């Protein structure tokens, strides 16, 4: 008889494996996807409202300002696949602008939060069919059968693409192309290069909400993997990595210490860090080149007057 594994069990196992492997590395690192449990998603929403965090309000303004053109690009009857949907607040703007969207598939690794988002969108857009899908977009997965193939439009806002390295970005672009099919389109929100103090401040706010978001990863390890991290012995740090053109988030160990995670022990030197997220920043040409390399044709870049953020409209063929 075929045995099915509960997706939550599979996710818990994947989390344990990533934490064990990441803490055993010479340069400790944890994949940023694990920042988003229920508490992490709530904290991220609080980040989007901070003065320093310009990406959300800038992308929101772009979608509002260019709604008619974006709707014309997406076409009628769109089947919208959204990667890393989160609270999908900006998606409401897009759904309002679109001409009779047929179906919405929000995709996110944070399953509980996704359910809440789907329920809110269902209430707000009562004629729209909604098929939420809990999945990790950095691995291969199928779009459920029954989701019409045309006309599919992928939406990947929030500059979440910046959390992927170059190899992951190319793999993601090709996965997304397979999901939408040869007639498909995509819209990707990309944070653009700008002065370094503005970039770093967006990940190191005065109210310390981003610090709480980053430290919640250790709290999650403690909650879900019997971890023994002492949260007051780690500090949040945001730093610019010029070679990678990325703002990196780290957790710095404030002293020499040892932790255990589900029975395995890991040593920290004072000042040693765990790298928890990179947020890559692109020039318009840099992102266009990468997307073209990933098999996409760029049709438009909608931007704000200060060119802080770009929403790229792209075709699969
Ligand atoms: C930066 S937030 C953006 C949220 C929202 N789209 C926005 O624009 O405000 C990233 C979102 O992607 C989700 N996410 C991160 N890594 C993921 C992965 N590997 N697979 C699926 N979802 C992921 C998170 O749970 C979170 O909701």
Domain ranges across the chain: 7-36+197-280, 54-194+281-315
Q: Is 311 in the pocket of ligand 1 (CB under 6 A)?
A: no
* 5 confidence band (pLDDT: 50, 70, 90): confident
Report pLDDT digits (tens) over 241-296: 999 999 999 999 999 999 999 999 999 999 999 999 999 999 999 999 999 999 99
Q: What pLDDT does 211 receive? A: 98
pTM, full prediction: 0.97
Q: Is 82 in the pocket of ligand 1 (CB under 6 A)?
A: no
Q: What pLDDT does 1 receive? A: 56
For range 118-127, the mean pLDDT: 97
Ligand 1 centroid from CA 122, angstroms = 20
Report pLDDT digits (tens) over 152-200: 999 999 999 999 999 999 999 999 999 999 999 999 999 999 999 999 9
Q: What pLDDT does 317 receive? A: 83
Segment holding 310, helix H or strand E:
strand 309-315
Q: What pLDDT does 6 receive? A: 82
Question: ω before 315 within 30° of 0 (cis)?
Answer: no
| DSSP single-letter state for residue 25 | S
One-letter-per-residue 3-state SS of 251-303: EEECCCEEEEECCEEEEECCCCEEEEEEEECECHHHHHHHHHHCCCEEEEEEE
Query: Please, what is the average pLDDT of the chain?
Result: 97
CATH code at 54-194+281-315: 3.40.50.150
Q: Is 227 in the pocket of ligand 1 (CB under 6 A)?
A: no
Query: Ligand 1, atom 17: nearest CA belongs to which residue?
Result: 33
Ligand 1 centroid from CA 116, angstroms = 14
């Amino acid at each position: 008889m075929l045995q099915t594994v509960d997706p939550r069990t599979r996710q818990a196992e994947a989390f344990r494996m990533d934490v064990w492997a990441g803490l055993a590395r010479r340069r400790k690192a944890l994949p940023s996807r694990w920042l988003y449990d229920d508490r992490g998603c709530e904290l991220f929403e609080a980040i989007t409202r901070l003065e320093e965090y310009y990406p959300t309000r800038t992308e929101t303004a772009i979608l509002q300002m260019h709604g008619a053109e974006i709707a014309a690009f997406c076409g009628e009857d769109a089947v919208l696949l959204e990667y890393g949907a989160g609270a999908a607040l900006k998606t409401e703007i897009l759904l309002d602008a679109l001409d009779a969207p047929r179906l919405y598939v929000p995709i996110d690794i944070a399953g509980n939060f996704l359910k809440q988002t789907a329920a809110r969108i269902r209430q707000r857009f009562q004629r729209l069919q909604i098929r939420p899908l809990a999945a990790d977009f950095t691995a291969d997965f199928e779009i459920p059968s029954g989701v019409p193939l045309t006309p599919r439009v992928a939406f990947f806002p929030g500059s979440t693409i910046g959390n992927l390295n170059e190899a992951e970005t190319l793999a993601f672009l090709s996965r997304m192309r397979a999901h939408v099919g040869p007639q498909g389109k995509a819209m990707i929100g990309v944070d653009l290069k700008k002065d370094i103090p503005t970039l770093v401040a967006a990940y190191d706010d005065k109210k310390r909400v981003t610090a709480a978001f980053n430290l919640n990863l250790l709290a999650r390890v403690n909650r879900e993997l019997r971890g023994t991290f002492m949260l007051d012995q780690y500090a949040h740090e945001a730093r610019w990595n010029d070679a990678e053109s990325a703002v990196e988030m780290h957790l710095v160990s404030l002293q020499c210490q040892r932790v255990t995670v589900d029975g395995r022990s890991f040593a920290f030197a004072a000042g040693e860090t765990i790298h928890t997220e990179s947020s890559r920043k692109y020039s318009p040409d840099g992102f266009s080149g990468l997307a073209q390399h990933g098999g996409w044709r760029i049709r438009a870049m909608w931007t704000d007057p200060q060119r802080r953020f770009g929403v790229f409209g792209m075709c699969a063929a």
